[in-house]
Amino acid sequence: MNATTYTFNRENKVRKFGSPLRPFLQAARRAADQLKQKGGNPTELVTKIDQEEQQELKQLENQYDQLKQRSDDGAIQQLKALQPKFQTLASDGGPQSGEALSYARNIPGAIADVRARVTKKSAGSRCQALQERVQLGEALSEEERAFLKDNCH
């Protein structure tokens, strides 16, 4: 397996499941804390942990940025699944914790935006169908006329 294949496979796994290294990184951060408490120097270990977590954050950010632009129910579900990944990364106490927490807190707003686009898209389809029926001379129900008046401009 070459480096490109590893990167592609790793990114796909992170996209689906979160970082496969997450439990190890959490344990490594605890070990670094213990080493420091005992007078050791965990600088190299902490640097490597921070680099891995920064890479994980970048991948989660990319997913978030892609999902928040979409207009479908699948994006809503994927954003919901992304929130605990950001929360876990935020709880690890690394230098990226604040940024990860910010993303976790922004997810409900992103979901609301996507949901609004989904609703608008759905209403737009219904408007078009009702307007076509009117053009064909079909009678609309009172509810359909009200929907057309209130939502289709």
Within a domain: residue 61? yes
Q: pLDDT tens digits, residue range 95-152?
A: 999 999 999 999 999 999 999 999 888 887 888 888 888 888 888 899 888 888 888 8
Is residue 141, in this structure, part of any structural domain at all? no
**Residue 67 · residue 82 · CB < 8 Å:** yes
Q: Tell me, yes or no, whether 124 lies in a domain.
A: no
Domain count for the chain, please give it.
1
Tell me whether residue 94 is in a domain. Answer: yes
Report the alpha-carbon distance of residue 36 to residue 40 in Å, rounded.
5
CA distance 83 to 18: 11
Tell me the pLDDT band of 19, cut-offs 50, 70 and 90. low
Answer yes or no: is pLDDT of 49 > 60.
yes
- What is the rounded distance in angstroms from the CA atom of residue 31 to the CA atom of residue 29? 5
* Percent with pLDDT over 90 in the chain: 45
Predicted pLDDT at 14: 42
Residue 88 placed within a domain: yes
Residue 45 lies in a domain: yes
DSSP class of residue 72? S
Question: Residue 64: which domain range?
Answer: 3-108
pLDDT at 78 over 50: yes
Question: Is residue 40 a part of any domain in this protein?
Answer: yes
Yes or no: say if 148 and 131 are a contact pair by the CB < 8 Å rule. Answer: yes
Q: Residue 131 domain-assigned?
A: no
- Give the mean pLDDT of the chain: 84
The pLDDT of residue 45? 87
SS3 88: helix
**Confidence (pLDDT) at 79:** 97
Counting beta carbons within 10 angstroms of the beta carbon of residue 111, is it exposed (0 to 12), middle (13 to 18) or buried (19 or more)? buried
- Distance CA(96)–CA(25), nearest Å, equals 13
